[in-house]
A and B are shown apart, each in its own frame.
Chain A
Amino acid sequence: MEKEKILYGRSNGFFPSFERRPGPIKTNMHYCPGCGHGILHKLIAEAIDDFGIKDKTIIIAPVGCAVFSYYYFDCFGISAPHGRAPAVATGLARANPENLVISYQGDGDLASIGFNHILQAANRGENLAVFFVNNAIYGMTGGQMAPTTLPGQKTQTSPLGRSVTSEGYPLKVSETVAALDAPVYVERCALSTVQNIRKARLAIRKALTNSIERKGFSLVELLSGCPVNLKMNARDMNEFLDNQMSRYFPLGVYKDTAESRDPISRPTGIYEPQAVRELLYPVRVADGVSESFRNPSRIFQSERRIKLCGSGGQGVLSLGYMLATMGKLRNFNVSWLPSYGPEMRGGTANCSVVLSRNPIGSPLVSKECNLLIALNGPSLERYLPTLKRNGILLYDESNGSCPDEVLDRVIYTLPASDLAKQLGDLKYANSVLLGAVAVMMCDLFLDEEDKADFDRVFEEAIMDCFHEKEHVVKNNIKAFYIGKANARRIRN
């Protein structure tokens, strides 16, 4: 007998032998006779070989019968969680724009559990080729209803036939994706007759060409047979695809705008250390002090805990931030903790600032507060109990007065808001108040050389925060000295 001659062999897009497939069979695929996966695999394998892209193609294996696609394709492979292939594909495509990523998905995977992911990836215009196998049924799990199961079609989980009033209508994926602005190419084909398979072959090549040219998101939906679960023979299967499925899911091009699209360009990452430093490290604005500097005043021998409170929009948080910045510039360990979340969005605002030469324990100042700065009456009353017996109170007398029962405490005040308004903007109240802090610190705590440094560190902190806005720096410094001139201690 004449020796068998191979006229048309297996594509080089496949491995010559399927060594990854367990068991003794290494030459055939595991797909059932009449299944669309085998045809689609062949069309893809031929394309990636013909296009010479095997070394940069990554095929994402779905959950479903094609989960083992990596047995066959001679390119990179990865298996994704059920429905998540478009997200995994996004990660791959973004991580390295050189990657050519194929998301191979079935109807349960793409149109049910992962429908949001495919729509979002499509809507972002990710540079992907998506091949969507629609066989109107869950194949691997044993013939349950799919989102694309036809009305009246009987499955394991729609034994009486899909009821549109209960299970809804079959999802039209191509129509939905094509309605989005970002995708460049959407076509529905059928893996049925030779003529239809030839159209599918061209569609697959077009989608891959779009990926190679970085035109963005392409989706090819392929109506596909599942003779075992649909309980049909080959002839009935083709009849089902071409007459019943195609009637509900019309074949054709739904979108093709690749011609007019510019290729997607992604930036190149910067990793050279000096360049990274220059882009990430802050500019040194103030001369500051040497790393070994330690403030000499006794007051800082132990941790200093400050609470700042007022209403939202008064600048309580930025006042605390200024104090923390001043501490940072003099080598203290500082912490600044705002109230966050809904509290921040209107209503009251408060923050905690701790300065210490040692590691800071709790950054929350909920009691044992050394200095309470209150910007209005209600918050003064609310946070007064947090003040230590010998703690100091500073409040803005423009917005409230001090309850009589605390008049035995050390209290400083000034009409900060009114003074700020005279300067032209309420937001200068913070610097006015810091002027008052300066007065209090100089009166009670600071060594001689520290007194002048307080003014210096304030100016450095203002520079640190606003160095790009000269007039803001100037006005805040003016506000600070007005605060210094107007602060007074209340004596009982």
Chain B
Amino acid sequence: MEYTNRMLLKGNEAVVYGALLAGCECFFGYPITPASEIAHTAARGFPKLGRTFLQAECEIAAINMVMGAAANGRRAMTASSGLGISLKQEGISYLSGSELPALVVDIMRGGPGLGNIGPEQSDYNQVVKGGGHGSYHCIVLAPSSAQEMCDFPRLAFELAEKYRIVVYLLTDGVIGQTMETVTLPEPIPARAEIPEWALDVSRPRTNMISSIYLEHDDLEALNRKLQAKYAAIRAAEQRSEEYRTDDAEIVLIGYGISGRLCRSAVDELRTKGIKAGLLRPITLWPFPVDAIRALRHVKQFVAVEMSDGQMIDDVKLAINCDRPVHLVNRMGGNVATIDEIVNRTIDALGAKEA
């Protein structure tokens, strides 16, 4: 029988294919719109490959099951949306304090509270800034297509294991729900190795995983070690994509679906004679500050996001607030049209000049 590697997949389906091809061994999750297709696809795909799929009793259980499997040295993941991620934060803090690698997928929906199931990007602060207790960070990748949903799990597991850190894929309901042509990546050549530190029969039983340090100096030492690790990640792992920024006077910054809308908006602004460009962050933590700082010729920035303006703070910090940063946003499940982004950008520039 002949096989093809091209498929039509929703972002939510693509991420499961990507995870399986990246050697993910365990999926623990709980259904939630608009992320449920991840669990649906995992419920078929993981057992098909003799791997573990388990519908947990709740989001809290799911992340703690991930913690168990991760402690055992297995590639493990969970997926949810805003409300569920809020519940997982305790576990993510423990994973971070215990320096365990894991993959968490967040398909953002409207909030706060029950909100709605429309797409938003309002989990930015809870995912990028920490979200749980303690001084920790997770690496946050921001896929903006089904192809990236499929490609990023491998990168995510590699980063997670290299740095012993939780890696998020953070995207929105539109990317999760949109079906697109995807070229499936190759499966990893062999099962991922069980790390030296793992609690596994193949490793020394003196291995121990904990995030408790009763002595204040010991806990401070752990925190300093974590901060040194985060500094190394900030230096080495910033990722972003630029489009028509070379001669741009104004640069739009957006991730996920907003990043794609911005690309079309940039073309439209150019037809109107405005020298626009796009910077699409691919890592939200670490935020691509070096790439943004390199845009010295740019006069103004526009943060385009589906929240009250959460990412915009990181843009302002990146440039030390030395140039204007405007916000073009929608909330509540609404997605800006290209025209809306173009017109509001023009308005913002006009207001500045006036």
Docked-complex contact A340 and B54, CB < 8 angstroms: no
- Complex Cα distance A88/B209, Å? 12
Docked-complex contact A70 and B71, CB < 8 angstroms: no
- Which chain A residues border B72 with CB–CB below 8 Å? 91-92, 95-96, 99
Could you tell me which residues of chain A, from 301 to 327, have a CB within 8 Å of some CB in chain B?
A: 321, 324-325, 327
Docked-complex contact B180 and A120, CB < 8 angstroms: no
A70-B208, A116-B58, A269-B25 known; 17 new pairs, CB 8 Å cut-off, are A56-B201, A95-B68, A95-B76, A96-B201, A116-B61, A271-B23, A271-B49, A277-B186, A277-B187, A280-B187, A327-B181, A328-B181, A340-B117, A359-B263, A360-B180, A363-B178, A364-B174
Chain A's closest residue to B264 (CB) is A361
- Which chain A residues border B4 with CB–CB below 8 Å? 281-284, 288
**B285 within 8 Å of A by Cβ?**
no
Q: If A55-B205, A79-B211 touch, does A361 touch B338 (CB 8 Å cutoff)? A: yes
**B50 within 8 Å of A by Cβ?**
yes
- Complex Cα distance A277/B4, Å? 9
Docked-complex contact A334 and B8, CB < 8 angstroms: yes
**B33 within 8 Å of A by Cβ?**
yes
Q: Can you sample 25 A-B contacts with CB below 8 Å?
A: A55-B201, A76-B205, A77-B209, A79-B209, A87-B56, A87-B64, A87-B67, A90-B54, A92-B68, A93-B68, A116-B61, A117-B60, A269-B191, A280-B49, A281-B4, A332-B181, A335-B178, A336-B179, A336-B180, A337-B179, A359-B263, A360-B260, A362-B257, A362-B264, A363-B260
Residues of chain A touching chain B, judged by Cβ–Cβ distance below 8 Å, are 20, 22, 54-58, 61, 67-68, 70, 74-81, 84, 86-96, 98-99, 116-117, 120, 266-271, 273, 276-284, 288, 321, 324-325, 327-328, 332-338, 340-342, 359-364, 366-367
Smallest CB–CB gap between A239 and chain B, Å? 34
Docked-complex contact A273 and B179, CB < 8 angstroms: no
Docked-complex contact A284 and B199, CB < 8 angstroms: no
- Complex Cα distance A117/B59, Å? 11
Docked-complex contact B263 and A361, CB < 8 angstroms: yes
**B135 within 8 Å of A by Cβ?**
no
Smallest CB–CB gap between A7 and chain B, Å? 28
Q: If A284-B2, A334-B181 touch, does A94 touch B65 (CB 8 Å cutoff)? A: yes
Smallest CB–CB gap between B339 and chain A, Å? 8
Docked-complex contact A90 and B180, CB < 8 angstroms: no
Q: If A96-B201, A269-B49, A328-B6 touch, does A362 touch B56 (CB 8 Å cutoff)? A: no
Could you tell me which residues of chain B, from 238 to 275, have a CB within 8 Å of some CB in chain A?
A: 257, 260-261, 263-264
Chain B's closest residue to A90 (CB) is B65
Docked-complex contact B214 and A22, CB < 8 angstroms: yes
- Complex Cα distance A266/B52, Å? 9
- Which chain A residues border B70 with CB–CB below 8 Å? 91
Docked-complex contact A324 and B8, CB < 8 angstroms: yes
Chain B's closest residue to A23 (CB) is B215
Docked-complex contact A78 and B190, CB < 8 angstroms: no
Chain A's closest residue to B68 (CB) is A91
- Complex Cα distance A77/B209, Å? 6
- Complex Cα distance A250/B333, Å? 55
- Complex Cα distance A248/B187, Å? 57
Docked-complex contact B335 and A81, CB < 8 angstroms: no
Q: If A341-B34, A367-B337 touch, does A270 touch B50 (CB 8 Å cutoff)? A: yes
- Complex Cα distance A325/B190, Å? 32
Docked-complex contact A78 and B208, CB < 8 angstroms: yes
Q: If A267-B47, A281-B5 touch, does A363 touch B60 (CB 8 Å cutoff)? A: no
Chain A's closest residue to B337 (CB) is A366
**B212 within 8 Å of A by Cβ?**
yes
Could you tell me which residues of chain B, from 213 to 245, have a CB within 8 Å of some CB in chain A?
A: 214-215, 218
Q: If A78-B209, A334-B8 touch, does A280 touch B90 (CB 8 Å cutoff)? A: no
- Complex Cα distance A288/B6, Å? 12
Smallest CB–CB gap between A264 and chain B, Å? 13
Indicate which residue in B8, B188, B208, B335 contacts A325 across the interface (CB closer than 8 Å). Answer: B8
Indicate which residue in A94, A116, A271 contacts B57 across the interface (CB closer than 8 Å). Answer: A116
Smallest CB–CB gap between A300 and chain B, Å? 15
- Complex Cα distance A67/B213, Å? 11
Docked-complex contact B64 and A81, CB < 8 angstroms: yes
Smallest CB–CB gap between B186 and chain A, Å? 7
- Which chain A residues border B338 with CB–CB below 8 Å? 361-362
Docked-complex contact A96 and B60, CB < 8 angstroms: no
Docked-complex contact B178 and A337, CB < 8 angstroms: yes
Docked-complex contact A81 and B52, CB < 8 angstroms: no
- Complex Cα distance A448/B267, Å? 32
Smallest CB–CB gap between B105 and chain A, Å? 17
Residue of A67, A88, A89, A283 with most chain B CB atoms under a 10 A cut-off: A88
Smallest CB–CB gap between B194 and chain A, Å? 9
Smallest CB–CB gap between B340 and chain A, Å? 10
Residue of A74, A77, A78 with most chain B CB atoms under a 10 A cut-off: A78
- Complex Cα distance A75/B181, Å? 49
Docked-complex contact A321 and B66, CB < 8 angstroms: no
Indicate which residue in A80, A98, A328, A363 contacts B8 across the interface (CB closer than 8 Å). Answer: A328
Docked-complex contact A87 and B260, CB < 8 angstroms: no
Docked-complex contact A84 and B8, CB < 8 angstroms: no
The 4 closest A-B pairs by CB, nearest first: A91-B68, A361-B264, A87-B64, A91-B65
Q: If A95-B69, A328-B181, A337-B174 touch, does A270 touch B49 (CB 8 Å cutoff)? A: yes
- Complex Cα distance A364/B172, Å? 13
- Which chain B residues border A333 with CB–CB below 8 Å? 180-181
Docked-complex contact B56 and A76, CB < 8 angstroms: no
Docked-complex contact A283 and B3, CB < 8 angstroms: yes
Residue of B5, B8, B62 with most chain A CB atoms under a 10 A cut-off: B8
Smallest CB–CB gap between A13 and chain B, Å? 11
- Complex Cα distance A327/B180, Å? 10
Chain B's closest residue to A343 (CB) is B117
- Which chain B residues border A95 with CB–CB below 8 Å? 25-26, 52, 68-69, 72, 74, 76
Interface string of B285-326 (1 = CB under 8 A from A): 000000000000000000000000000000000000000000
Docked-complex contact B33 and A334, CB < 8 angstroms: no
Smallest CB–CB gap between A75 and chain B, Å? 5
- Which chain B residues border A334 with CB–CB below 8 Å? 8, 180-181
Smallest CB–CB gap between A170 and chain B, Å? 24
Docked-complex contact A363 and B174, CB < 8 angstroms: yes
Docked-complex contact A273 and B8, CB < 8 angstroms: no
Chain B's closest residue to A333 (CB) is B181
Indicate which residue in A67, A84, A324 contacts B61 across the interface (CB closer than 8 Å). Answer: A84
Chain A's closest residue to B72 (CB) is A95
Smallest CB–CB gap between B6 and chain A, Å? 7
**B184 within 8 Å of A by Cβ?**
yes
Docked-complex contact B335 and A88, CB < 8 angstroms: no
Docked-complex contact B67 and A88, CB < 8 angstroms: yes
Smallest CB–CB gap between A397 and chain B, Å? 29
Smallest CB–CB gap between A335 and chain B, Å? 5
